[in-house]
Structure 1
Amino acid sequence: MDLIGERNLRDLLTERANRYPDKTYLVFEDQAGNVLEYTYAEFLIHVQSAAAGFASLGIAKGDAVVIQLPNCPEFLFAWFGIGWIGAIAVPSNTANTAPEMRHILDLSDAVAVVCSPPYRQVIDDALESADGVRHRILARMPGAAPEGWTSYDEMVAVHQPAADVAVGSEDVMQMIFTSGTTSQPKAVMLTHANCLHSGERASRCTAVSDSDRVLTALPAFHVNAQSLTVLAALTVGATCVLLEEYRASKFWDQIRRHEATAVSLVAMQVRTLLAQPAAQTDRDHAVRRNFYAINVLDSEKAEFERRFGLELVNGYGLSETMTVVTIAPVFGEKRWPSIGLPAYDRQVRIVDADGEDVPTGDVGEIIVSGIPGRTIMKGYFKDPEATAQAIRDGWFYSGDNGYVDEKGYVYFFDRQKDVIKRAGENISASEVEAALLLHDHILEAAVIGVPDPIRDEAVKAFVVIGGGVELTADQIIEHCGSRLAPFKVPTLVEFVDSLPKTSVGKIEKKALRASESGAR
């Protein structure tokens, strides 16, 4: 089912601004509690100003622009504005270090980067050895920009509108860097059609309407916030409420203040909300839809629903599918702990290593039907081999294992990919291992995820030290901290004489996980 045709995000923004000009589209609350609001018409003007500003710098169709911003209006103005002129937005995790940013800037062929003052030094350090970036744009800073930088406010003050560039539905709108099984993240190419389908899918699967106020504190550089909040709200003419940061102690007050009716969470947020002292106001809210990803324990789900009077609706998605693949029916049987039924435009199969369907109830790889560049990613940028491996005969191979029951409900079992889930973030174990092996005295390293009662999994490193040198866990952690985003840095380090290996010399992580399980 293709509801998009040849439309692009520019068309959707214009349509909604014409239909709901005076209705509030975006509500933003910063860390200090200050609130900004924009109607659909005002939001469109800001996006057009951003588009004109980028165009005035010579940024053109097909150029990549990295966005290194926290949740803020400027993130969305830039994101939509880049797409408006046919350029490609490259949202970046604000926790990234200079080496990580260097990889993103280089692989994406970025010509410009937009950031705010807290991230300026990281960008400057990354650009010492990154070629091709012509413009450094500083947002959320009053006054003149420092030397070598362009002020975002001055850039968007350009009065000449951007030229009307032809933008096709299958033109790439953004590249999302996602954890993979290699030592470096890959760039997922998502088109305008991907984004539009994502908004349609998310709004339909979650049953939000133009009367809803959809709130998120998840980062806008993730497809979860983009799909389930930003695009879902835009698609139906609802209000998007964006918080700059998540604080469990303030969250329900913010829900009430902004009269939110729908919210998207990850398991870490469920757990930290449960960890707050119980209050008489726990059920004093208007939220009627609560969607989350990543399983919580049965006891946690039951306690959350009892305490807050709010049902948790489980779902499953990936960056490559622009989120929702399956979701528990809003108005039907949930069959917990299933991850729901396939979305209206999806088919899901469970297959063996040969791509053959396995019997009902048997575990196999979850694969998802889709059209590249429309309902699944267009591909991995500069990586045709990985693209061909992931997309085969109209099916996206997720690398995740699951099974289907007799009613067609899908259940998540485990991950084939060596990815650690930590507080809603995906961490590539091999990326952490590569950072560890940069240490002069680490001969071998293996990284696994171990259970964490709050953040899903903790990062544990097993290291083999050479040369008769003695190192401490703190030294290893400090070494990684200078090379990796904080959430990727191991919190547990175990020194070992050797690592278990297969007959062909491959590190046998299954044995490490088994030994870890036996130790608990």
Structure 2
Amino acid sequence: MGIKEKCWIKQYPQQISATLDYPDISIAQLLINAVNDFPNQDAIAFMGKRLTYQELLEQVYCFANALKRLGINKGDRVAIMLPNCPQSVIAYYATLMIGGIVVHTNPLYMENELEHQLNDADAKAIICLDLVFNKVQNIREKTQLSHIIVTGIADVLPFPKKWLYKLKLRKDGIKVTIPEEIGYYSMKQLISQEEPIPVEIVYHSKDDVALLQYTGGTTGLSKGAMLTHQNLISNTYQTTAWLYKAKRGEEKVLGVLPFFHVYGLTTLMHFAVHIAATMVLVPRFDAKMILKEIHKHRPTYFPGAPTMYIGLINHSEISKYDLSSIQACISGSAPLPIEVQDKFEKLSGGTLIEGYGLTEASPITHANLVYDRVKSGTIGLPLPDTECRIVHPETGDILGVGEIGELQVRGPQVMKGYWKRPEETNATLVDGWLNTGDIAKMDEDGYFYILDRKKDVIIAGGFNIYPREVEEVLFEHPAIQEAVVIGVPHEYRGETVKAYIVLKKGFQLTEKEIENYCRQKLASYKVPRIVEFRQELPKSNIGKVLRRVLKEEENNKSN
């Protein structure tokens, strides 16, 4: 499929090239570039603490030198188990500078999940938050860890916030004691003991693995996607080309998406550092906190997940805050309801567009145009240098415009493979084409529509039902805040549609009212036959509704 045959390129505005030049550099070089051009620009704003790009680089150098003294060398895996905070950025770039491979780890992991990931990656060291230190200590003997480096939010807070934070920990009965033994260290002390002597970046080729990004484990044990420096550089340049109005050295990016998820890593850290923007970091999502941060810091870009925007537009005090600084938001990780998109754009005056990606693609492959034509309900167009096609799920035959099948993608952002899993790599990557597992279609203009995960399609009475279509209808109801549907076993139909619904405050609905509403908008076989009202839905660390958790609950009921 040549460049000329990519019909979506006709939709590109003149500011976006169909193909880009990608430098053969380490992802760590982006930080050096930012410092060279904007040394005094704020790189990080975090709970009253500010770091310029020059100050950030000096701390990165200190920590990189400390890691070298601990014996961390090229190719060694270093786990980072931190929320969004300055230490997370420092640890990331320091590891990459000395040629290490980052293993991003969710601080919310349970001990068994953490043990699996650290052992699978053969991690030599971990930088963890003090609040999760006990989990790491409990599983240390079951892993290959040689070094445990601990840090805390209080380590970077200015007075009096530092004092107030420590006081709160004491009130909550939280006490963390780092053993005075070999193999345990304070990150703050390691940095303070070093001089910011420049470190020569250890980088051999574009195929060097920079990151082991573990998938969510929805199909079993999580797998480490090997993302190379070239994968990450490519996706950073693609994202920046898409956001062509961003001015280098002048922007602020709201950092709510966690860095330990590759979506947050690319659209926040990599993008921000590449354009020398200020990262306004937030350690966790809290609607009121986010509204305050937007009002105070006036960020221009706010990448997020649909549940974040839902939480904001439904907050009772949203009218008190000024959101007008926001120019653009890219929503990913889950389908963006059109109603949510419209409401957020009216409240902020900015553009909220839906994009698409997956861990194995660093992660972004598609997005709606930010400053031009948007097709609501689609994931937009493929990014520059990204090839896409729809194939028949069983035969692999390439399908035409409007036909429904599995989405395959190919481009410089697609992973090298799965860590230590050649068979799964070969099943997922075929001639460079990545099997996404998502059911999709493309229209005549080259816009793509994700209908659902291949495994989430509901088959009722021989009919294929795509959950997203039903969920879009439910979201249009003025009383519904969140909704997700799954297929549950049915004696006659094979499967039937069940809806889980969270109502907006002050609203009431009955199962029958929802059924009658859906019958006006959906074919009868698509109408939810079972409705369960919930106070909240199970979500991942970036706010994606965990459909698999609901399926597991249903399976447990039937067993």
Question: Is TM more than 0.5 here?
Answer: yes
Q: What is the DSSP-based 3-state SS (H/G/I as helix, E as strand, rest coil) of the residue aligned with 1:66?
A: strand
Counterpart-to-counterpart distance in 1, 2:445 and 2:381 = 9
Give the corresponding residue for 1:441.
none
Once the 2 structures are TM-superposed, how far is the Cα of residue 76 of structure 1 from its aligned partner?
0.8
Give the corresponding residue for 1:146.
179
Partner amino acid, structure 2, of 1:332: D
Once the 2 structures are TM-superposed, how far is the Cα of residue 297 of structure 1 from its aligned partner?
2.7
Give the corresponding residue for 1:277.
316
What aligned pairs does 1:201-240 form with structure 2 within 5 A after superposition?
201-207=238-244, 208-210=246-248, 211-240=250-279
What aligned pairs does 1:323-338 form with structure 2 within 5 A after superposition?
323-338=363-378
What aligned pairs does 1:341-356 form with structure 2 within 5 A after superposition?
341-353=381-393, 354-356=395-397
Once the 2 structures are TM-superposed, how far is the Cα of residue 307 of structure 1 from its aligned partner?
3.4
2:422 matches 1:377: no
Give the corresponding residue for 1:405.
443
Once the 2 structures are TM-superposed, how far is the Cα of residue 220 of structure 1 from its aligned partner?
1.1
Counterpart-to-counterpart distance in 2, 1:124 and 1:107 = 18
Q: 1:249 aligns with which of 288, 293, 303?
A: 288
Give the corresponding residue for 2:148.
136
2:203 matches 1:167: yes
Maintained 8 Å contact 1:180/1:418: no
Greater CA drift, 285-294 or 402-411: 285-294
Once the 2 structures are TM-superposed, how far is the Cα of residue 39 of structure 1 from its aligned partner?
1.2
Maintained 8 Å contact 2:381/2:448: yes
Once the 2 structures are TM-superposed, how far is the Cα of residue 87 of structure 1 from its aligned partner?
0.5
Q: What is the DSSP-based 3-state SS (H/G/I as helix, E as strand, rest coil) of the residue aligned with 2:221?
A: coil
Flag structure 1 segments of 5+ consecutive residues without an equivalent.
Answer: 30-34, 422-428, 430-447, 456-485, 500-520
Give the corresponding residue for 1:261.
300
Greater CA drift, 306-315 or 139-148: 139-148
Once the 2 structures are TM-superposed, how far is the Cα of residue 160 of structure 1 from its aligned partner?
7.9
User: Normalising by the residue count of structure 1, what TM-score does the alignment of the two structures yield?
Assistant: 0.78
Counterpart-to-counterpart distance in 1, 2:309 and 2:74 = 41
Once the 2 structures are TM-superposed, how far is the Cα of residue 412 of structure 1 from its aligned partner?
0.7
Give the corresponding residue for 1:438.
none
The 1:494/1:161 distance shift into structure 2, 3 A limit, reads same
Q: What is the DSSP-based 3-state SS (H/G/I as helix, E as strand, rest coil) of the residue aligned with 1:119?
A: helix
Once the 2 structures are TM-superposed, how far is the Cα of residue 489 of structure 1 from its aligned partner?
6.4
Maintained 8 Å contact 2:104/2:213: yes
Partner amino acid, structure 1, of 2:25: R
Greater CA drift, 352-361 or 64-73: 352-361
Maintained 8 Å contact 2:85/2:281: yes
What aligned pairs does 1:66-465 form with structure 2 within 5 A after superposition?
66-130=79-143, 132-140=144-152, 145-148=178-181, 149-156=184-191, 157-159=193-195, 161=197, 164=200, 166-168=202-204, 169-180=206-217, 182-207=219-244, 208-210=246-248, 211-277=250-316, 279-282=318-321, 284-293=323-332, 294-353=334-393, 354-371=395-412, 375-417=413-455, 451-453=500-502
Maintained 8 Å contact 1:282/1:308: no
The 1:498/1:338 distance shift into structure 2, 3 A limit, reads closer
Counterpart-to-counterpart distance in 1, 2:503 and 2:186 = 40
Maintained 8 Å contact 2:366/2:382: yes
Once the 2 structures are TM-superposed, how far is the Cα of residue 284 of structure 1 from its aligned partner?
4.5
What RMSD in Å do the two structures reach over aligned CA positions?
Answer: 2.8
Give the corresponding residue for 1:471.
none
Partner amino acid, structure 2, of 1:7: I
Counterpart-to-counterpart distance in 2, 1:185 and 1:164 = 33
The 1:492/1:376 distance shift into structure 2, 3 A limit, reads closer
% same residue: 28
Q: What is the DSSP-based 3-state SS (H/G/I as helix, E as strand, rest coil) of the residue aligned with 1:244?
A: coil
Count, aligned residues: 435
The 1:2/1:304 distance shift into structure 2, 3 A limit, reads closer
Once the 2 structures are TM-superposed, how far is the Cα of residue 69 of structure 1 from its aligned partner?
1.0
Once the 2 structures are TM-superposed, how far is the Cα of residue 376 of structure 1 from its aligned partner?
1.2
Give the corresponding residue for 1:14.
32
Counterpart-to-counterpart distance in 2, 1:366 and 1:451 = 27
Q: What is the DSSP-based 3-state SS (H/G/I as helix, E as strand, rest coil) of the residue aligned with 2:31?
A: helix
Counterpart-to-counterpart distance in 2, 1:450 and 1:253 = 34
The 1:497/1:306 distance shift into structure 2, 3 A limit, reads closer
Partner amino acid, structure 2, of 1:308: S
User: Normalising by the residue count of structure 2, what TM-score does the alignment of the two structures yield?
Assistant: 0.72
Counterpart-to-counterpart distance in 1, 2:262 and 2:498 = 23
Once the 2 structures are TM-superposed, how far is the Cα of residue 144 of structure 1 from its aligned partner?
8.2
Give the corresponding residue for 1:58.
71
Maintained 8 Å contact 1:180/1:417: no
Q: Deviations over 1:210-265 (max 9, x none)?
A: 22111121111011211111111111222222112221122222112112111011
Once the 2 structures are TM-superposed, how far is the Cα of residue 182 of structure 1 from its aligned partner?
3.6
Maintained 8 Å contact 2:291/2:318: no
2:35 matches 1:23: no
The 1:60/1:403 distance shift into structure 2, 3 A limit, reads same
Counterpart-to-counterpart distance in 1, 2:306 and 2:55 = 34
The 1:278/1:103 distance shift into structure 2, 3 A limit, reads same
Once the 2 structures are TM-superposed, how far is the Cα of residue 451 of structure 1 from its aligned partner?
3.9
The 1:451/1:385 distance shift into structure 2, 3 A limit, reads farther
Q: Deviations over 1:291-336 (max 9, x none)?
A: 1122233333333333333332110011111122111111221111
Maintained 8 Å contact 1:261/1:288: yes
Counterpart-to-counterpart distance in 1, 2:557 and 2:273 = 56
Maintained 8 Å contact 2:84/2:255: no
